[in-house]
Amino acid sequence: MTTHAERRKYTRVQLCAYGVDKLCTLHLGQERHAAHLVDISAGGARLKLKAPLPEAAKELTLSVQGVKDSGRLQNLTAQIRWRADVEIGVQFTPNLGLAVSELQGLIS
Cβ–Cβ under 8 Å, residues 20 and 87: no
- Phi/psi at 100 (5° precision): -55, -45
Domains detected in the chain: 4-107 (2.40.10.220)
Return the pLDDT at 6: 44
Return the pLDDT at 58: 95
Cβ–Cβ under 8 Å, residues 65 and 74: no
Q: 66: alpha, beta or left, given left = phi > 0 and alpha = psi -120 to 50?
A: left
Distance of alpha carbon 80 from alpha carbon 17, whole angstroms = 24
Residue by residue, pLDDT tens for the chain (108 residues) are: 444 544 557 777 665 544 468 899 999 999 999 999 998 999 999 999 999 999 899 999 999 998 889 999 999 999 999 999 999 999 999 999 999 889 888 887
Return the pLDDT at 14: 67
Return the pLDDT at 105: 87
Distance of alpha carbon 10 from alpha carbon 50, whole angstroms = 27
Return the pLDDT at 1: 46
